[in-house]
Amino acid sequence: MNRILVAQNVVARIVVTLCCLLAAGGLAQAQNYPTKPVRMIVAVPPGGPADTLARLVSPKLSDALGQTVLVDNRPGANGGIAYDIAARSDPDGYTFVLVAAGVAINPSLYPNVPYHPIRDFAPITLGVTVPNILIVHPSVQAKSVSELVAAIKAKQGGFAFASAGNGTSGHLALELFRLSTKTSFVHVPYKGGAPALQETIGGQTQALFSIALAATPQIKAGKVRALAITSAKRSPVAPELPTVAESGIPGFEVIGWFGWLAPAKTNKAIVGRLNQELVKALGNAEVKDRLQSMSTVPVGDKPEEFGRFIRSEYEKWGKVIKTANIKIQ
């Protein structure tokens, strides 16, 4: 009996010692981080809002960390290639990824997505949000969301909503709009936001949820009419516009966004360091001005806040996609 107790005590001491050594090793790793260049994977080609965001913050991050932060563009599969590479990378802090809203939407939209947005990543921070603006062709007899709903119902299915393509933010926005208002209309998907906007300007389609950056010049030129913005609260991007939610569709919110994730099991202290420096970079006056000029809203929140946000996006859009029976092969 005594021998068994002695053996158990020895095993317990070994386990405690190993745990202490592992904790000390993790702490030392975090304290010394980084000792070599860091890779920021970006899921799009050079150019465009996401790449611009990455290249705006990477020099600030390099200065703060004392090591070069390299931007590594890995486009394809609606971001899936970049997200899969990041999820499979070593959780040592030397690889992290700039993600878009698609990271939380893709698993509900496409079959066999190789990553899970919650299980396979450690959230760092939400970078920026990108609200959409609900616009209509000037011929549409509606100057508010409620009037638009009435106009759609009067058309009895003959009203046409454009989008930048199946599964895009604009497509999901119009499906949420359809479900929330119990209206029936035609969805016309285009290959990109530019042709969708041009067809709405031309009157071939009557309405569109467009990113603010693209829509604003056309609104100012009188080529389309803005009815509301899709953020939960009024946005500095277009402070004069009411939200869709306050216009008679409570709870309606659709925002594009970009944020940073590390591979799951990345040391919390390293995640905290990246969070601290990214938030500082987003708050830099030069960076902030540039981002606001792109009609984006800089955020910079805590890892746990970003984690809750990703979960809510995953659950919300999963329900919309299932209810609307959206399937993309």
Model pLDDT for residues 99-141, shown as the tens digit of each residue: 999 999 999 999 899 999 999 999 999 999 999 999 999 999 9
For residue 133, the Cα-to-chain-centroid distance in whole angstroms is 17
Phi-psi region of 174 (alpha: psi -120 to 50; beta: other; left: phi over 0): alpha
What pLDDT is attached to residue 4?
Answer: 53
Kindly report the three-state secondary structure assignment for every residue of 221-275. Answer: CCCCEEEEECCCCCCCCCCCCCECHHHCCCCCCCEEEEEEEEECCCCHHHHHHHH
Amino acid type, 240: E
Which residues in the chain land under pLDDT 50?
Answer: 5-7, 10-11, 15-16, 18-24
What pLDDT is attached to residue 303?
Answer: 98
What pLDDT is attached to residue 31?
Answer: 78
Whether domain 30-130+256-323 has CATH 3.20.20.70: the reply is no
- The token pair at 29 is 């790793």
What pLDDT is attached to residue 2?
Answer: 53
Residue with tokens 């991050």: 61
Pairing, β 121-136 against β 297-298: antiparallel
Model pLDDT for residues 230-252, shown as the tens digit of each residue: 999 999 999 999 999 999 999 99
What pLDDT is attached to residue 19?
Answer: 46
Per CATH, 30-130+256-323 and 131-247 having the same topology is answered: yes
Query: Domain locations in the chain?
Result: 30-130+256-323, 131-247
Provide the CATH number for the domain formed by 131-247 in this structure.
Answer: 3.40.190.10
What pLDDT is attached to residue 196?
Answer: 96
Rounded to whole angstroms, what are the CA distances from 27 to 24, 32, 250, 261, 263? 5, 9, 47, 21, 18
What pLDDT is attached to residue 156?
Answer: 86
Model pLDDT for residues 53-75, shown as the tens digit of each residue: 999 999 999 999 999 999 999 99
